[in-house]
A and B are shown apart, each in its own frame.
Chain A
């Protein structure tokens, strides 16, 4: 479905951030992309969705193909129309607008009829019943969990076939993370939406992922099935902060360990 073929991304023509990234998202699957701060995960998603443009970034090498069509270089609108939507990190709700207006905003590009719009909103409310109760509320006053639901729901309004999800768990309580990922999994199973899920919280992402990639310094350093990665010792060390006995490691020792042992470079 989606193939990133050895892509290189530069910001402002000089800052090389992705150095040859190859990723594949097969139809109907959930693929996760893991990595620490600054690894280049969001940049990868922006490259796919055409959102590098506002940051003056560009795919300078390699290619991105969606169902056999090259999409690198297209504007976001065209890519959204093709069925790819990115849920940006940081829960970018439109705070001045109501929940319902946020959802309609997600559908404007398709210009649906009133009936279709109503049906689409009902679909979102069926996955996120909490949003229905809050539909006339200004979205800036929603809780963090509800805001995350809203941006996912808003993405759903564009009828995506592929959803790019950026750090949905950030800053949410473990229970909420579980809840949102359970719904993500349902979107995949029930609506047949393929997913590329970016996370620092490896556990949350790998629990639902068919396949996973690990990124460091703009390169893919490891890729394997979700189950294998979940069992991988290094992943446990780096991204779950667990040692074999299962106790939490302090941030400091992880940092230290990371400095000594890098997968690459």
Chain B
């Protein structure tokens, strides 16, 4: 029983991290209708940048992460400005091809500057391997994953619900022609969505890197992010969160119980299996966007 609870909690933690990556994809899709297939590359670059400040430059953690945030903001802004702005209004296929190229561009960049070698973040945890909660040992990192993702999601919700630029984003997401008509600065909305996306990717990259080290495997996490976003219906925040939890938990349980029987690769494969099953039964994901119809 305690194994089951441990696996569940790990699943929730990982699932929330996937959800953060997926939310990056969802935010961009909602506002710009660009399907961002680049999270793999963007996670890599975020992780290596954070690693550089933390290890190579050897700055204290808050300063290093602060600088990483600034660079992530700049990357988000530049990617939108240079690559995606010209694509607004083009067919979705154009954005699919382009974001794929962005993926490989950043993957290549990390090879170029960091040699593609696996790296580790310095350990920033308290050092206790597990924390006991009612007699069940939970790895400390999992608790941090859960706390930080919940805080990030809350911040995102507050931003969208209570700030003007968040409202501008929701307006643009719902009807870009009305946004234009009302004199909303749409190009600024597009910049902000990419900046938010990169910030979410940075958090994802930091936690995944802290769990399994930084390597080209981060590509996988990027693909999971896209899968989770698709499962969640691509335009739905709750959808992305629930889909992330489902994938995280299923992955954790299969890894825990079936890896011995089916081999270690099963945990990496389950997201795709879930994806196939769901797309078979619900092609629009768990949560297609609900449109209000009135006669």
Contacts and interface: CB of A to CB of B under 8 A. Distances in A.
Interface string B149-188: 0000000000000001001101100111111111111000
Interface centre among B89, B174, B180, B182 (most CB of A within 10 A): B182
B167 A101 contact: yes
A86 B181 contact: yes
B175 A92 contact: yes
Contacts of A77: 180, 183-185
Interface string A77-113: 1011100011010001011110001001110111100
A94 B164 CA distance: 15
A108 B167 contact: yes
Contact of B185 (A86, A106, A109): A109
B170 A96 contact: yes
B294 interface: yes
Given A92-B175, A95-B291, A96-B292, A104 B167 contact: yes
A192 interface: no
Nearest to B171: A105
Contacts of A141: 292, 294
Contacts of A154: 182
A168 B175 CA distance: 19
Interface string A37-57: 000000000000101011000
Contact of A54 (B167, B174, B180, B184): B180
Contacts of B292: 95-96, 138, 140-141
Nearest to A88: B181
Contacts of A53: 180
Interface in B218-263: none
A96 B175 CA distance: 10
Nearest to B161: A101
Contact of B183 (A92, A96, A158): A158
B178 A80 contact: no
Nearest to B185: A77
A51 to B, nearest CB: 6
Q: Name the interface size band of chain B.
A: 20 to 34
Contacts of B178: 88, 92, 94, 105
B181 A97 contact: no
Contacts of B168: 105, 108
Contact of A76 (B170, B171, B180, B294): B180
Nearest to A105: B171
A97 B171 contact: yes
Contacts of B176: 54
Contacts, number: 78
Nearest to A53: B180
A79 B181 CA distance: 10
Interface centre among A76, A86, A140, A144 (most CB of B within 10 A): A76
Nearest to A96: B174
Nearest to B178: A92
Contacts of A108: 164, 167-168, 171, 182-184
Nearest to A101: B167
A2 to B, nearest CB: 17
Contacts of B179: 105
Contacts of A104: 164, 167
A109 B184 CA distance: 5
Nearest to A79: B183
Interface in B261-286: none
B111 to A, nearest CB: 41
Given A109-B184, A140-B294, A54 B177 contact: yes
Contacts of A95: 174, 291-292
A109 B178 CA distance: 12
B167 A76 contact: no
A92 B177 CA distance: 9
A96 to B, nearest CB: 5
A153 to B, nearest CB: 12
A76 B174 contact: no
A265 to B, nearest CB: 32
A112 to B, nearest CB: 10
Contacts of B171: 94, 97, 105, 108
Contacts of A86: 181
Nearest 10 CB-CB pairings of A with B: A140-B292, A80-B183, A109-B183, A95-B292, A77-B183, A105-B171, A92-B178, A94-B174, A76-B180, A96-B174
18 contacts: A51-B177, A76-B183, A77-B183, A80-B183, A86-B181, A92-B177, A92-B178, A94-B175, A94-B178, A101-B170, A105-B168, A105-B182, A105-B184, A108-B183, A109-B182, A109-B184, A140-B292, A158-B183
Given A76-B181, A88-B178, A108-B182, 4 more contacts: A54-B177, A92-B178, A105-B184, A109-B184
